[in-house]
Chains A and B, each alone.
Chain A
């Protein structure tokens, strides 16, 4: 009887069931048969576009993205004005190198946004996914359209993921732009001392951005699961951010080193690998595997919850 069954069933199960049970010859019967609900090609794409339009068209979300994009720009301007080597060696490891090579603005900006701003934006998008619809009462109308609960959940998850990707991409693009304009690009001198050509340098920056984005997928899944539990989106967003923060705190306690490898945020800063001559792909692989595990676990929980929950909002 569960929705899980219904949602997992292939499209063939969508044949109208009334024809076998309706008694007597019926005029309406003919029209019912011709209106047998068949899933249209490209329907999921239309749903996804609609969801993306909703997420990206929302004023609040646009403001968040603008805020994020302003981080590298402001940082670049400040550093350009206060180009004082008195700060050398202070702040994040790459900050004193920006003056010499604008490429470092990308790493520095992502480094600054990773602990809080990016998780915040991710939590807002993921937490809003289902809880926002439940809180507004629109969930009951979406489901009676009807749409399979699993289909809606996947569309919502992809929309939240996309929003997170857009956020990371915006930070990266703004940093490249501001870094190039303010400081110019140059061949990249790695942390280990070697210098690589500019094109390789840009590729490595894109690698950093890609890794940061992949590192946030676990948080999207956590937010999505929380979102299926409650009807107050703000509470869900807050709870999701708290997960990221608590994870960071736990990761900093040496007494808990046994659980560190499993913490959501444990590998978040491994993107620095891209700045070494010999990139440790196995370390990056561990980070991605960890995120995949969190996505699998919390994605399943969200699925199990959402496909069976009573919608009383």
Chain B
């Protein structure tokens, strides 16, 4: 897997990803119940990445995150966070890691500000003189200043989530590990979190963010990893993963009439270098008949062909072209393809 940073640093010399902020080898957690929640995963979050950590309910995301934070002892395998082995190096490494694990949790009868003050007091390395300023800045950053004096128990779900993020931002961080950071936020709040993640990444922090709201992750992440039943099915740069391993995930979308579908398929298959007999598998057809004109869209991967070749080839083959465009496969498509469509939790 290539991290652009590493490639530049090492001038083309292949590396084993020495610059990862999170790296695990065969990380496994078997709970006493016998449940193998995480099954030998090799996670790799390159420095500077925004890593989308995906997976259906119960796939082991939170358990992995708990091991990364030293809360849960791995059954086997190892986890390096910012170069320190967890859980042994927790106290050395975690001051540089901001975390949100499985929703926010604070003392209900303390105000938001007092709760942050308490967390800061627990930190043996925090400077008490700057405490007030840092707490104020963190509250400001998540838009919670106005509600800082309310008891936590009176917070709305979104306000609680924001306070959790504020706690993660009490100090400058090199790595943020955010488990479902947008859970319970309104659309405005969700946008703000996305914005915040981008901002943090621009400031040089790496981010590991788990979510099952794929559209959200899709918009911010540079890398993704997909978990299912405790296994890491795939990980890598977002575009590489969504294109199923090819560098370009670009797909062409043609709008035509139903009668021309077969012709369009043949042309697209030829361009992409796919055997014409399997043309119907290479391209997917979807009804786009919104106006009663019998329009359909044909979507196919471009392969090595250039987009500019598509229209002339279609015209030459007498295929009627109502529209032509491109489309990146969404993370959701990949996710569903990898983990299955079923709604039920896996186990």
Residues of A within 8 A of B (CB): 1, 3, 5-6, 13-25, 27-28, 31-32, 35, 37-40, 42-44, 46-47, 49-50, 54, 58-59, 136-138, 140-148, 151-152, 308, 310-312
CB-nearest residue of chain B to A18: B83
Given known contacts A46-B128, A140-B101, A312-B66, A22 and B83 CB-to-CB distance under 8 angstroms = yes
CB-contact partner of A32 in B105, B108, B174, under 8 A:
B174
Q: Does B317 contact A (CB under 8 A)?
A: no
CB-nearest residue of chain B to A6: B88
Number of interface residues of B (CB under 8 A): 54
Q: Does B158 contact A (CB under 8 A)?
A: no
CB-nearest residue of chain B to A16: B92
Q: Which of B61-110 contact A (CB under 8 A)?
A: 66, 69-73, 80, 82-85, 87-97, 99, 101-103, 105-110
User: Is the Cβ of A1 less than 8 Å from the Cβ of B121?
Assistant: no
Q: Does B6 contact A (CB under 8 A)?
A: yes
How far does the alpha carbon of A17 sit from the alpha carbon of B101 in the complex, in Å?
Answer: 24
With a cutoff of 8 Å between Cβ atoms, the chain A residues found around residue B66 in the complex are 140, 310-312
With a cutoff of 8 Å between Cβ atoms, the chain A residues found around residue B97 in the complex are 144
User: Is the Cβ of B126 less than 8 Å from the Cβ of A1?
Assistant: no
Q: How far is the CB of A76 from chain B (nearest CB, A)?
A: 33
Given known contacts A40-B127, A151-B124, A312-B66, A146 and B88 CB-to-CB distance under 8 angstroms = no
Residues of B within 8 A of A (CB): 6, 9-10, 15, 18-19, 47, 66, 69-73, 80, 82-85, 87-97, 99, 101-103, 105-110, 117-119, 121-128, 167, 172, 174, 204
Given known contacts A13-B92, A32-B174, A144-B94, A311 and B72 CB-to-CB distance under 8 angstroms = yes
User: Is the Cβ of A16 less than 8 Å from the Cβ of B125?
Assistant: no
Q: How far is the CB of B152 from chain A (nearest CB, A)?
A: 10
With a cutoff of 8 Å between Cβ atoms, the chain A residues found around residue B92 in the complex are 13-17, 37
How far does the alpha carbon of A42 sit from the alpha carbon of B129 in the complex, in Å?
Answer: 12
Q: How far is the CB of B259 from chain A (nearest CB, A)?
A: 59
How far does the alpha carbon of A58 sit from the alpha carbon of B69 in the complex, in Å?
Answer: 30
Q: How many A-B residue pairs have CB under 8 A?
A: 161
Which interface residue of B47, B88, B110 has the most chain A CB atoms within 10 A?
B88
Given known contacts A138-B107, A311-B66, A145 and B119 CB-to-CB distance under 8 angstroms = yes
Given known contacts A13-B92, A14-B91, A138-B106, A19 and B126 CB-to-CB distance under 8 angstroms = no
Nearest first, the 5 closest Cβ-Cβ pairs linking A and B are A137-B105, A18-B83, A23-B18, A50-B121, A146-B94
Q: Can you identify 27 A-B contacts, CB atoms within 8 angstroms?
A: A1-B88, A3-B87, A6-B88, A13-B91, A13-B92, A14-B125, A17-B84, A22-B83, A23-B6, A24-B19, A35-B96, A37-B91, A39-B124, A39-B125, A42-B128, A46-B121, A47-B121, A50-B122, A136-B106, A137-B105, A138-B105, A141-B99, A141-B106, A143-B71, A147-B91, A152-B122, A308-B73
How far does the alpha carbon of A285 sit from the alpha carbon of B203 in the complex, in Å?
Answer: 62
User: Is the Cβ of B90 less than 8 Å from the Cβ of A6?
Assistant: yes
CB-nearest residue of chain A to B8: A24
CB-nearest residue of chain A to B18: A23
Q: How far is the CB of A38 from chain B (nearest CB, A)?
A: 6
How far does the alpha carbon of A38 sit from the alpha carbon of B95 in the complex, in Å?
Answer: 10
With a cutoff of 8 Å between Cβ atoms, the chain B residues found around residue A312 in the complex are 66, 71-72
CB-contact partner of A47 in B6, B47, B122, under 8 A:
B122
User: Is the Cβ of B83 less than 8 Å from the Cβ of A20?
Assistant: yes
User: Is the Cβ of A145 less than 8 Å from the Cβ of B88?
Assistant: no
How far does the alpha carbon of A58 sit from the alpha carbon of B15 in the complex, in Å?
Answer: 55
Which interface residue of B110, B121, B127 has the most chain A CB atoms within 10 A?
B121
Which interface residue of B108, B126, B127 has the most chain A CB atoms within 10 A?
B126
Q: How far is the CB of A156 from chain B (nearest CB, A)?
A: 11
Q: How far is the CB of A50 from chain B (nearest CB, A)?
A: 4
User: Is the Cβ of A43 less than 8 Å from the Cβ of B89?
Assistant: no
User: Is the Cβ of B124 less than 8 Å from the Cβ of A44?
Assistant: yes
How far does the alpha carbon of A37 sit from the alpha carbon of B333 in the complex, in Å?
Answer: 43
How far does the alpha carbon of A143 sit from the alpha carbon of B96 in the complex, in Å?
Answer: 14
With a cutoff of 8 Å between Cβ atoms, the chain B residues found around residue A148 in the complex are 91, 124
How far does the alpha carbon of A264 sit from the alpha carbon of B87 in the complex, in Å?
Answer: 36
User: Is the Cβ of A19 less than 8 Å from the Cβ of B125?
Assistant: no
Which interface residue of A136, A140, A144, A151 has the most chain B CB atoms within 10 A?
A144
